[in-house]
A and B are shown apart, each in its own frame.
Chain A
């Protein structure tokens, strides 16, 4: 790693950047400003933690901006086993989170268009198109993304990531580590677990070579503990949605889930979620709900529609509907019990083979049924996400079973998590209107 890059990193990140972001956050906490367009009549003011979320995310991307040359950089799929890389000092970037950020900031059509102009079909995942467009053009709403020294693709969320990362590997000409996690149709087999563990073991030498240092297992255990702590806290946070009124909606969860995805294994993530939990508990004590007049409670299935978060929150809020839980945000918490720092590689293997997306459609249906009961829900919205086949295939039967066998209203909403061109405003509005009417019947 180079001296100049390190000096630049310390000056821009440690000396000027981070203190500035800290000051900015403190200002926002001292003098909270509610966005002028915020519908205060239907939604409670934004959570105070929002200022800290902004600081954390900005710090993450600021570090990324100056990471190249100072520390090794890895691009990792969102469900990837990141703990080994964290322990080796990698700066870790998640292109999917970057894609989500592009979705929220309305940059997807432009970036994706660049990938499409280069020959990538509109039928492939919009996160991938956005990322490839950003890589090809160098454009990103966060200013600059560091070039990876290593890529890690884990198939526990989809096979798409492997195709996508093969494109990145070819573009950047850097090693690609594959952690292939066999799909769990019924239960995790011993040989599948052994296979994942073996790949993790083999990934260490490649990662060490790129990082230029040896893996310290004590440090790895510490990172796993921090990952587990943060994951447990996240699980606690989303479980607060059981209260009526719910102190946090899934739209808030979507925004505040970035650290659990991008910054697992870090102390600041644990502090952050402890703080968020404190705020929610305060709000519960005050009887303050995310939706002011909560009358109905829903479950959201699948990824968010990043470019319509506000619209959906307000539309539903207007009708006194709070979406209090989601299979997606739950997925980032439900694996906490599998993490065990005393058995690092074995527990990483078991954890990362078990996400909801790597399990059968019955597992998701059972999860939804359990959540409907636990959160006392009145209905379910299943976002049929054109870009995410593993999450979406099975939803038609899941919806039918929720309605027929469980007697709960369920709506299938066709869209795409990142690409607004696959979203029909009027169609969604009319389907939502009918659903809301049905909930009131």
Chain B
């Protein structure tokens, strides 16, 4: 598949605007795409775009706040989000919570800010709370757009997203048979961050029809928030590594299963709450370890690269225990911390190379 067929984010936004659609800038990690689409709002995700003027964010945030949050704010201050009518910020961590609050109370951008609190457990009360929270968001969107989608319309939107998510899951499962390089695979799956469900589904179906020669290489799992700068994926390829599965917040942790409930809000809530383990949603270290070990077993991975954004507490707290559990199962791991704003330092390439060599031997 020619990776050039994936449209650029800017073109997608332009197209939405030309059709009179509303664009929502959505920050990491979990939210219901279906809820937005039911209101004809198109979510375009903002994962701290690199190459921004960080001094703009730095005027409001301390240096010990992660680069995802810094960059998102800098991007907004640069005027790059002027295309968005609203900003949706799921409550992912203390830093994103702080950013939401600073935006709502201090900076007050032109866009309306919509926070979404994600519960930290997987108990029945967490599901009930998220149902209520999504219903509250529905009411806010109604006020904002003047629209009142029916339950049937909501369910249609949900099913459309579920179909797309199933294809995403299939892409993840078939990644070793698709003949795509590491970077091309992630360009494809990450287009889910800004393409509509229909557009992504078409792209995914095409991609799944193409089989290619497996690139091969030393099989590894990638864990962390996001693979930025994306050049890192090329580095892994060059060092003869092959990412065979991932536990990335922007990808593998969002392989939502189809829902079962006929009640649309409950269905949306359950899909988020029962998604693969994620520290920001309160999953235990044991659940995460078990999940990673299973993932390694199914994918044949020999080791795990924890590719972390500096200052990311949800990730950093689990690491020592996770790594010990993996070690007990004979799985090697390495921890790499990056600032997504920096170019990939040579030192990181060397460390990845050394890790892959060690796995190979």
A163-B314, A163-B317 provided; 12 other pairs, C-beta below 8 A? A125-B313, A159-B280, A160-B94, A164-B317, A180-B121, A189-B136, A191-B132, A195-B132, A199-B125, A361-B101, A389-B65, A393-B65
Give min CB distance, A171 to chain B, whole Å.
9
Q: Does B176 contact A (CB under 8 A)?
A: no
Give min CB distance, A50 to chain B, whole Å.
34
Interface CB pairs A-B, < 8 A, 16 = A123-B313, A123-B316, A124-B317, A163-B318, A166-B284, A166-B318, A180-B120, A182-B117, A185-B100, A185-B104, A194-B132, A362-B105, A389-B95, A392-B62, A392-B98, A397-B105
Report the separation of the CA atoms of residues A396 and B98 in the bound assembly, to the nearest whole angstrom: 12
B313–A124 CB distance below 8 A: yes
Interface-forming stretch among B48-56, B256-264, B319-327? B319-327
Q: Does B119 contact A (CB under 8 A)?
A: yes
Interface of chain B: mostly helix, strand, loop or mixed: helix
Residues of A within 8 A of B321 (CB): 167, 170
Q: Does A272 contact B (CB under 8 A)?
A: no
Give min CB distance, A95 to chain B, whole Å.
14
Residues of B within 8 A of A186 (CB): 104
Q: Could you say which interface size class chain A belongs to?
A: 35 or more
B94–A389 CB distance below 8 A: yes
Query: Known contacts being A158-B94, A160-B94, A393-B98, is A123 close to B311, with CB within 8 Å?
Result: yes
Q: Does A16 contact B (CB under 8 A)?
A: no
B62–A365 CB distance below 8 A: no
Q: Does B343 contact A (CB under 8 A)?
A: no
Q: Does B178 contact A (CB under 8 A)?
A: no
A394–B117 CB distance below 8 A: no
Residues of A within 8 A of B93 (CB): 159
Q: Does A90 contact B (CB under 8 A)?
A: no
Within 8 A of B (CB), among A78-98: none
Give min CB distance, B234 to chain A, whole Å.
27
Nearest B residue to A422 via CB reads B64
B95–A397 CB distance below 8 A: no
B105–A361 CB distance below 8 A: yes
Report the separation of the CA atoms of residues A392 and B59 in the bound assembly, to the nearest whole angstrom: 14
Report the separation of the CA atoms of residues A69 and B128 in the bound assembly, to the nearest whole angstrom: 38
Residues of B within 8 A of A194 (CB): 129, 132
A393–B125 CB distance below 8 A: no
Q: Does A128 contact B (CB under 8 A)?
A: yes
The number of chain B residues with a CB under 8 A from chain A is 52
Report the separation of the CA atoms of residues A414 and B63 in the bound assembly, to the nearest whole angstrom: 10
Nearest A residue to B105 via CB reads A362
Q: Which of A121, A169, A365, A396 counts the most B-chain CB atoms under 10 A from its CB?
A: A121
Q: Does A71 contact B (CB under 8 A)?
A: no
Residues of A within 8 A of B284 (CB): 166, 169-170
Nearest A residue to B121 via CB reads A178
Report the separation of the CA atoms of residues A390 and B148 in the bound assembly, to the nearest whole angstrom: 35
B316–A121 CB distance below 8 A: yes
Report the separation of the CA atoms of residues A182 and B91 in the bound assembly, to the nearest whole angstrom: 9
Nearest B residue to A182 via CB reads B117
Residues of B within 8 A of A202 (CB): 123, 125
Report the separation of the CA atoms of residues A180 and B119 in the bound assembly, to the nearest whole angstrom: 7
Q: Does B153 contact A (CB under 8 A)?
A: no
Report the separation of the CA atoms of residues A198 and B124 in the bound assembly, to the nearest whole angstrom: 10
B61–A396 CB distance below 8 A: yes
Residues of A within 8 A of B120 (CB): 155, 159, 162, 178, 180
Give min CB distance, B340 to chain A, whole Å.
15
Nearest B residue to A397 via CB reads B106
* Per-residue A-contact encoding for B87-117, CB less than 8 Å = 1, 0 else: 0000101110111111011110000000101
Q: Does B212 contact A (CB under 8 A)?
A: no
B133–A191 CB distance below 8 A: yes
Within 8 A of B (CB), among A360-384: 360-362, 365, 384
* Per-residue A-contact encoding for B275-319, CB less than 8 Å = 1, 0 else: 000011010111000000000000000000000001101101111
* Per-residue A-contact encoding for B113-153, CB less than 8 Å = 1, 0 else: 00101011101011011001100100000000000000000
* Per-residue B-contact encoding for A240-259, CB less than 8 Å = 1, 0 else: 00000000000000000000
Nearest A residue to B283 via CB reads A166
Q: Does B160 contact A (CB under 8 A)?
A: no
Q: Does B60 contact A (CB under 8 A)?
A: yes
Query: Known contacts being A166-B284, A397-B107, is A159 close to B98, with CB within 8 Å?
Result: no
